[in-house]
Chains A and B, each alone.
Chain A
């Protein structure tokens, strides 16, 4: 296996490249297993701040990798309890209760919440508590109008300078 990643063949398929990325991420996250790594990646794509979440999970340890993964997947807001039960081979009937026992109750305590933390409400609660990466795309909105105002301003100041 090549030592340097840049020595890898250039014609790798995208799937292979993704796998490689995951491996690299794995190395940096040391003992993170592949499926947990994928879950983190998906959570990151969904706006979550992974470093903060890792710190949060550390506070409520001990926690199995399976529940960590469930936590990340639930945080994406893309899965219902049934989806997750199927994904993790967990009994749909028990998942909500187990989630609450292993994660929900601890999060409620740690985050000092009045409400219960369930699979559906997790994402909104994490948002409220600031576990999301900020998205500032204001400069991409109404570019033409903004530019028009700026340019007109510029021209005015130029006229003043000429005087």
Chain B
């Protein structure tokens, strides 16, 4: 009944010329919020200028407003439009342009936001839609999302009207979730899977979306971001060109990702970008502005404004000097003097060119002295004055607010180029990401004390005479590096690879307080004896990684039973107990004189009780193990690391009369020999059990 009235009114309106009657029909239509009425009124509103009577124009606006907002009981919303797509979708769409799914997110960028880079790209894509060069599609869910956001931002009526407009230009792609295999794309989210299904169902040429990365795992190749699509499309916006671009988009995206990744790897560390954007100093102060004016007169002027971000307090200082750097530093120092008592002294500044030509980056190294200490900072920039200034500013932060100073991670180039111009002092800097493997690296004579080289690749680098005291070389690759005369004292070599490094013979700095946990060691043999050997062995044992499946095999000749009681022996005993506590097993063979004293037995008992596997053998028997060798005055300790075999070492002490000699050896051959000797002795010796009394056991054994 109602439909008959509506159809009657619509038909009448088509041919009616009299404006009073037109007004009346339109007025009546406004009372029927039905899809075909709303569509008709929307069309009339879009062509308002073709109605000459302003009264009729008013009735059109009013009726559209009434019909598009309110059904009697339920307000008109997105469901109403989706339920009546056949009315709202343009019927005369016979566009021959390539069919493309435009992601709803992209349309929202176009519609809702202004100051984004996405906005300009989205606008260009939508331009192609409006010019009819793309036959656009949108997913149903996307359309719903747009409606909700617009409704929240503006009003329901505005959202409804916009949806009518979108539906008149854009096709809605619908897939019935019940009809598709939801598990078909296991590595992408459902939204992405639905978009791919829409593209396939409607034989679309491709998808333009902000979320292009989401599609990588879907296997659907014709996807790209608006930026990439526009870049590859270029100026040729013909259908063939659009079609071709979409076809190659997947491949282009992959290459683009690769380029971006490489850029990211090559780029300066992120914190520099943050630093330059904000120029924060310390305690809430920042450099609000700085300016340098250089002209053809004699002097350069510089101005620096410091501002407190909390109180908005400001200090502005200027200086005039012949050199722009001098002017800038002077102005900055004067401004700084308002905040702190100046106590630093600029010792030196050096600059190295990283690139040739007029655009070349430069790297600047600043050395500043304060309170008897030195701080070194490095900064690289295309703008030479900024390189100077920022290196200096960083040093000032380090001097006046050490807690707020975050050392930068420096690049390979910064290190090598400064070294090339003869700057060798890099102490305390972070080079954890340098990779010198492919460049014939030369860091000879460099002062690298306390530097961070963890994870760095220093393979084959010339480090002769370099001072690496206290440097963090953990997990660094030093294989085949030349460490002749290099100082490695107290360096951390945990997990570092020292395969085939070149060392000068007996370079004790390698064992001078260095941490060699799981370090892949070179084939070195260091002659060392006495207290110093024992200290170094203790140091190495302390740093054994309990996770590394290490075990200790030892032989102790008990010619002198009070050895374990003297301070050195006591200290070594503590190290032993420490190992047991960390679940590192120790097996020890004692070589005993023919008639052991109670003191001997006491030592053995103590070791047994604390968890060491103990065995004993008498001097005479021991002699048979290796013919002619006097085991009665030899001590041996093998640390076997089953996880990192190249970290295994053996230490030996030999007494020749009163003369003591010894070594610590990482040579595979020596470690193996010592191990086989231990095994032979262990086999021949008597094992003691913890339960029984030693004295009894020994008595039993000798009978």
Contact = CB atoms under 8 A, between A and B. Distances in A.
Whether chain B is bound by chain A comes out as: yes
A135 B58 contact: yes
Main secondary structure on A side of the interface with B: helix
A78 B165 contact: no
B676 to A, nearest CB: 76
Contacts of A145: 130
Contacts of B660: none
B232 interface: no
Contacts of A132: 58
Interface string A125-136: 001100010010
Given A47-B58, A135-B62, A142-B165, A152 B27 contact: no
B696 to A, nearest CB: 92
Contact of B62 (A46, A139, A152): A46
Interface in B116-158: 119-120, 122-123, 126-127, 130, 157-158
Interface string A6-18: 0000000010000
B130 A135 contact: no
A98 B28 CA distance: 26
Contacts of A14: 73
Contacts of A77: 23-24, 27
A135 B61 contact: yes
A148 B127 contact: yes
A124 interface: yes
Interface in B15-42: 20, 23-24, 27-28, 31
Contacts of B95: none
Contacts of B119: 151, 154-155
B58 A127 contact: yes
Most buried by A among B28, B123, B130: B123
A132 B126 CA distance: 38
B161 interface: yes
Contact of A144 (B20, B45, B169): B169
A148 B66 CA distance: 28
B126 A141 contact: no
Interface in B51-76: 55, 58, 61-62, 64-66, 73
Contacts, number: 72
Given A47-B58, A135-B65, A140-B157, A151 B123 contact: yes
B55 A127 contact: yes
A147 B111 CA distance: 7
Interface in A107-139: 120, 124, 127-128, 132, 135, 137, 139
B296 interface: no
A120 B24 CA distance: 10
Interface residues of B, number: 34
B123 A148 contact: yes
B110 interface: yes
B422 to A, nearest CB: 41
A135 B41 CA distance: 15
Contacts of B27: 46, 77-78
Nearest to A77: B27
Contacts of B61: 135, 137
Given A132-B58, A140-B161, A148 B130 contact: yes
Contact of B66 (A45, A139, A140, A144): A45
A135 B130 CA distance: 28
Contacts of B58: 47, 127, 132, 135
Contacts of A78: 27-28, 31
A66 B65 CA distance: 30
Nearest to B129: A144
A55 interface: no
B54 to A, nearest CB: 8
Contacts of B111: 143, 147
Given A124-B55, A140-B157, A154 B114 contact: yes
B106 to A, nearest CB: 13
Nearest to A13: B73
Contacts of B55: 124, 127-128
Given A78-B27, A132-B58, A137-B61, A124 B123 contact: no
A5 to B, nearest CB: 21
A152 B127 contact: yes
B547 to A, nearest CB: 56
B522 to A, nearest CB: 57
A144 B168 CA distance: 11
Contact of B126 (A46, A135, A148, A158): A148
Interface in B80-117: 110-111, 114
A132 B58 CA distance: 9
A155 B31 contact: no
B46 interface: yes
Nearest to B150: A143
A15 to B, nearest CB: 9
B28 to A, nearest CB: 7
B20 A151 contact: no
B618 to A, nearest CB: 91
B162 interface: yes
A124 B19 CA distance: 11
Interface in A73-103: 77-78
A5 B550 CA distance: 81
Interface in A23-50: 45-47
Nearest to B162: A143
27 contacts: A14-B73, A46-B27, A46-B62, A47-B58, A77-B24, A78-B28, A120-B20, A135-B61, A137-B61, A137-B161, A140-B157, A141-B45, A141-B161, A142-B165, A143-B162, A144-B166, A147-B111, A148-B126, A148-B130, A151-B114, A151-B119, A151-B123, A154-B120, A155-B119, A155-B120, A155-B123, A158-B120
Interface of B: 20, 23-24, 27-28, 31, 45-46, 48, 55, 58, 61-62, 64-66, 73, 110-111, 114, 119-120, 122-123, 126-127, 130, 157-158, 161-162, 165-166, 169
Please give me the 8 A-B residue pairs with the lowest Cβ-Cβ distance, nearest first: A151-B123, A140-B161, A135-B61, A47-B62, A155-B120, A77-B27, A127-B55, A143-B162
